Amino acid sequence: MRDHTKKELYSWIKSIVFALVVAFICRQFLFSPITVKGESMEPTFENNDRIIVSKVSKIEHFDMIVFHSPISKDDYIKRVIGLPGDTIEMKNDVLYINGKAFEEQYLNENKGEIPLETTLTEDFKVTVPEGSLFVLGDNRPSSMDSRIIGSISDDAVVGEVKFRFYPFKEVGTPE
């Protein structure tokens, strides 16, 4: 009976170690859970929302990413506006990427809360350096983003936001 118990225990230990190794590999290289901190992406994300980021995604315009802040030990979540080589211009609250105007529908709720004849985002023009991304928060008046901290290095990117799992009423793919 003792021999059988040892084999059973060894089998359980092997299974648990295997599961831990698989979980570690997935979290390090494929995806990771993140807790949103702050109000810079409101109303898209609220403080303490829980999300999953993919570490293997190809980043494109308007993707939401998590990255290591160049000015603190925090991770930030922002929306990618410019890719390497892009010229980004904001004029009268209209976003231009390489001269083409884009409507930022995710800002409509925030634009509705500001006084008439006031802009949500101040005017600027910038060219994104190679190996970098230009990011902005959806809550433009309260966002520490590329307008302040500059372009983000590709190496600082943790991953692209793929799924929100908390709060439960907001579960799904964020837009």
Residues catalogued as catalytic: 40, 78
Q: Is the separation of the CB atoms in 124 and 140 below 8 Å?
A: no
And the tokens for 101? 């105007």
Q: How many CB atoms lie within 10 A of CB 95?
A: 19
Can you tell me which residue has the tokens 């999953």? 52
Residue whose pair of structure tokens reads 């059988």 in the numeric block:
4
Give the C-alpha distances (Å, rounded to integers) separating 15 from 3, 7, 35. 19, 12, 29
Amino acid letter, residue 170: E
Tokens of residue 38, six digits: 């702050």
